[in-house]
A and B are shown apart, each in its own frame.
Chain A
């Protein structure tokens, strides 16, 4: 909805303009919720985490350099917030999303298996897989989000697939 460039909005937000900051987040909001959902598998929690991450981002807006893109920076904050939430709920029984909240899957069994498998691997592996295969990010974008080199990002993705494969296979997913 907003007409200024991202750089203009970053500048205004850094100068204290909340509306500019909210406008800056708008195009990233959907991806942020999807990232949080991919990591937490709970819609309510995903939206809460994105809200918390947005507050943190606002408080730290001065860390976002002028001329740099909001997306990797904000998604990084969302990912860290998910890690914190995940740690704090280690005792909680994770439920599958009720069916009406989740889009119909073409292969329900494979989808349930993948969601279970994702819960069993570590946060870092889950993060790179969600960024790559759910948010459809390129390797260089993943690298920027994680603050690592593209080569390191590629090998993290490969390693995560390697760890995911036996779990998914054991559970009978046809991939």
Chain B
């Protein structure tokens, strides 16, 4: 048997892809506190803290802020230069984002795993308050221009978590287990979504080894992925984007769970592309097309949030409108030049 023939034969005979949302289900299961580590205490919080990463990020941010603050002040007083107000604004912004993140993490507790959890409503209250405070701070802050899009999307996602948590409490009260689970799963997914933008704002960009190391490559890969999605191909984050681009017949009733899984796949894909592009230092002649593409991705992401929201509200018309917006944004994004 020739090697090539064997490769072809195995691929033909066995080719499958994981089902939409299966990784997200694993992720949710892994972040539940029921899976204990053998050699250390079980992770107690459903709304997990970042553990070592948060400590490292905090330490690095504090260290950078202290050193930079010291250098800026010293330079200002000794040389008499104009202070780098832009840099200071970025640092203040980062600090506000980090503080919001930490308050949110500190407000969480191990509740709402099931509809029978009587402590769920009380546990949701401080989380919603922390999220609202974070959003209010973001609203009142003069966002540095390089973070404008990311800031807007982060705010939208934080607002959506508030909606989802409140919805979960309402579904619990009406003993609607199916929708309670949808709402909590959506909130837990959004909780994971928050990490990458917060890290990017704090200067932790994507892995440099990711495909598309040059800005042009990254741009073209993003467009290819979006074109693939429009033509029904599974992307690196599953088939969700392609399924939604082809407008599922319904996202309500028994289809709600599948549809929500597609939305999560697609949200992850949009986020990956946005963050990869944002982290690429584009030249001035590339900046316009990058900014256009990122803008369309943000529109697509906003439409996905609207789909989740409409699923929880059981609003078929809003789902249709959001699906139209999603496809439209994808189409524009795929043809950005």
- Contacts from A to B (Cβ < 8 Å): 1-6, 8, 11-12, 14-22, 25-26, 29-30, 33-34, 37-38, 41, 43, 46-47, 50-51, 54-55, 58-62, 97, 101-103, 105-107, 110-112, 114-115, 129-130, 133-134, 136, 161, 165, 173, 175
Cβ distance B52 to chain A, nearest Cβ, rounded Å? 3
Complex alpha-carbon distance, A175 and B8, angstroms: 10
> Number of contacting residues on B, CB 8 A?
53
**Contact between B16 and A102 (Cβ–Cβ < 8 Å)?**
yes
How would residues 6 to 28 of chain B score, 1 for a CB under 8 Å from any chain A CB and 0 otherwise? Answer: 11111111111111001101110
Cβ distance B110 to chain A, nearest Cβ, rounded Å? 13
Q: Please give, as numbers and ranges, the residues of chain B lying within 8 Å of A165 by CB-CB distance.
A: 1
**Contact between A20 and B10 (Cβ–Cβ < 8 Å)?**
no
**Contact between B272 and A1 (Cβ–Cβ < 8 Å)?**
yes
Residue among A50, A62, A112, A134 making CB contact with B11, cutoff 8 Å: A134
Residue among B26, B39, B40 making CB contact with A51, cutoff 8 Å: B26
- A33-B18, A47-B18, A175-B5 are contacts. A2–B12 as well, Cβ < 8 Å? no
- A22-B31, A60-B38 are contacts. A29–B18 as well, Cβ < 8 Å? yes
Complex alpha-carbon distance, A4 and B206, angstroms: 6
Complex alpha-carbon distance, A173 and B8, angstroms: 13
**What secondary structure prevails in chain A residues at the interface with B?**
helix
**Contact between A30 and B17 (Cβ–Cβ < 8 Å)?**
yes
From residue 33 to 67 of chain B, which have CB atoms closer than 8 A to chain A? 35-40, 43, 48, 50-53, 56
Residue of A2, A5, A47, A102 most packed against chain B (CB within 10 A): A2
Asked if B196 is at the interface of the complex by the 8 Å CB criterion, the answer is: yes
Q: Please give, as numbers and ranges, the residues of chain A lying within 8 Å of B18 by CB-CB distance.
A: 29-30, 33, 47
Q: Please give, as numbers and ranges, the residues of chain B lying within 8 Å of A111 by CB-CB distance.
A: 9, 12-14
Residue among A4, A59, A105, A136 making CB contact with B36, cutoff 8 Å: A59
Cβ distance B27 to chain A, nearest Cβ, rounded Å? 4
A161 nearest in chain B by CB position: B1
Residue among B35, B196, B271, B279 making CB contact with A58, cutoff 8 Å: B35
- A107-B12, A133-B7 are contacts. A17–B195 as well, Cβ < 8 Å? no
B45 nearest in chain A by CB position: A18
Residue among B13, B17, B195, B199 making CB contact with A105, cutoff 8 Å: B13
**Contact between B48 and A17 (Cβ–Cβ < 8 Å)?**
yes
Q: Please give, as numbers and ranges, the residues of chain A lying within 8 Å of B25 by CB-CB distance.
A: 51
**Contact between B48 and A18 (Cβ–Cβ < 8 Å)?**
yes
**Contact between B31 and A47 (Cβ–Cβ < 8 Å)?**
no
Residue among A4, A17, A129 making CB contact with B199, cutoff 8 Å: A4
**Contact between B52 and A4 (Cβ–Cβ < 8 Å)?**
no
**Contact between B207 and A4 (Cβ–Cβ < 8 Å)?**
yes
Complex alpha-carbon distance, A33 and B10, angstroms: 15
**Contact between A33 and B22 (Cβ–Cβ < 8 Å)?**
yes
Cβ distance A96 to chain B, nearest Cβ, rounded Å? 11
**Contact between B206 and A3 (Cβ–Cβ < 8 Å)?**
yes
A110 nearest in chain B by CB position: B9
Complex alpha-carbon distance, A133 and B50, angstroms: 38
Q: Please give, as numbers and ranges, the residues of chain B lying within 8 Å of A25 by CB-CB distance.
A: 23, 26-27, 30
Complex alpha-carbon distance, A130 and B209, angstroms: 27
Q: Please give, as numbers and ranges, the residues of chain A lying within 8 Å of B11 by CB-CB distance.
A: 133-134
- 6 A-B pairs with the lowest CB-CB distances in the bound complex, closest first: A15-B52, A17-B51, A111-B13, A133-B10, A103-B15, A114-B13
Asked if B200 is at the interface of the complex by the 8 Å CB criterion, the answer is: yes
Residue among A3, A107, A133 making CB contact with B196, cutoff 8 Å: A3
Residue among B13, B23, B48, B200 making CB contact with A110, cutoff 8 Å: B13
Q: Please give, as numbers and ranges, the residues of chain A lying within 8 Å of B9 by CB-CB distance.
A: 110-111, 114, 133, 173, 175
Q: Please give, as numbers and ranges, the residues of chain B lying within 8 Å of A47 by CB-CB distance.
A: 18-19, 22
Q: Please give, as numbers and ranges, the residues of chain A lying within 8 Å of B1 by CB-CB distance.
A: 161, 165, 175
Q: Please give, as numbers and ranges, the residues of chain A lying within 8 Å of B10 by CB-CB distance.
A: 38, 114, 129-130, 133-134
Complex alpha-carbon distance, A105 and B38, angstroms: 43
**Contact between A62 and B13 (Cβ–Cβ < 8 Å)?**
no
Can you identify 11 A-B contacts, CB atoms within 8 angstroms?
A3-B199, A15-B53, A16-B40, A29-B23, A30-B18, A51-B26, A102-B14, A102-B15, A103-B16, A114-B9, A130-B14
Q: Please give, as numbers and ranges, the residues of chain A lying within 8 Å of B108 by CB-CB distance.
A: none
**Contact between B51 and A5 (Cβ–Cβ < 8 Å)?**
no
Cβ distance B97 to chain A, nearest Cβ, rounded Å? 15
Complex alpha-carbon distance, A6 and B206, angstroms: 11
Q: Please give, as numbers and ranges, the residues of chain B lying within 8 Å of A50 by CB-CB distance.
A: 26
Residue of A22, A106, A129 most packed against chain B (CB within 10 A): A22
A43 nearest in chain B by CB position: B16
Complex alpha-carbon distance, A73 and B31, angstroms: 21
Q: Please give, as numbers and ranges, the residues of chain B lying within 8 Å of A41 by CB-CB distance.
A: 14
